[in-house]
Amino acid sequence: MLCSRCTRLPLVSLWASLSLFFLTVSAWAISPELQHPETYRGNEQITGWLMSEKFDGIRGYWDGQRLLTREGKVMYAPSWFTDNLPPFPLDGELWAGYGQFETVQATVLDTTPSSAWRNISYQIFEVPHASGDFPARLSKARQWFQHHEAEHVRIIPQITCTGHEHVQRFLATIAQKGGEGVIIKDPTIPYRDGSEQRVLKLKYAQYMDGTVIGHTPGKGKYLGLMGSLTLQLKNGVTFNLGTGFSMSQRRYAPRMGAVVTFKHYGFSKNGKPRFASFVKVKTP
């Protein structure tokens, strides 16, 4: 016959395991069903659509009770940040200013909320699953915050687009401020999650050159090919460039010392280009 102590130990162990499991699960929710814009190509019929600034932060989905990442992970925002948010969903960007992406990332993904949240604003760009067209959905959020003050919440202003030249001028003004890009949206469509062809994104890309100082072998589907190039910029900063290459370019990689052009979307705090993608090898 087993002693009572022997039977208690497995039960205690099981209880501890279950507690750890549910504690871990509680930090995650089901991934929210988000709307995803298509890439702007310049041949769409966009006159009369609404356009707004695309902010470079961390996407934050408010499900009516919790603030979630796009993957469904719970953000541990301080109570003052969420107290006056509505009982219905919101979609927006958590933002701390131009060039502060890494600050936002470190702040909102920390499991212990800090005073750094005071520098974060919630830039609202959609009210998921609300009825009506796009302006009506934004109006629902606007009416809520008229009666529930939240200084850190801002509903992103929308501008009526007069055409493609208007988009490019608007993008230029955003780029001068150090912004990321533009969102262009058909105001008549109801809310739909998933990829949406009537919602477009246009980012401001910058172009730079770098010198090849190394090659990293590929893995997986790139096994036996070039995986990435190590580039050195004129200021001495080095980084790995691994996207934008065709299979042929990976098979016959640019030689050591070659100068390549790549596009990117700003810099990290360490001076490395963000979201860099290969464009071409410069001719001597």
Catalytic residue ranges: 54
**What burial letters (b/e) apply to 143-171, b meaning 16+ CB within 10 Å?**
ebbeeeebeebbbbebeebeebebbeebb
Burial (CB < 10 A; 0-12, 13-18, 19+), residue 188, is exposed
Give 35's strand partners: 194
**What burial letters (b/e) apply to 73-83, b meaning 16+ CB within 10 Å?**
eebbbeeebee
Q: What amino acid occupies position 55?
A: F
Phi, psi dihedral angles at 109 (to 5 degrees)? -95, 0
Angle subtended at Cα 159 by Cα 154 and Cα 162, rounded to the nearest 5 degrees: 165
Rg (CA), the chain: 24
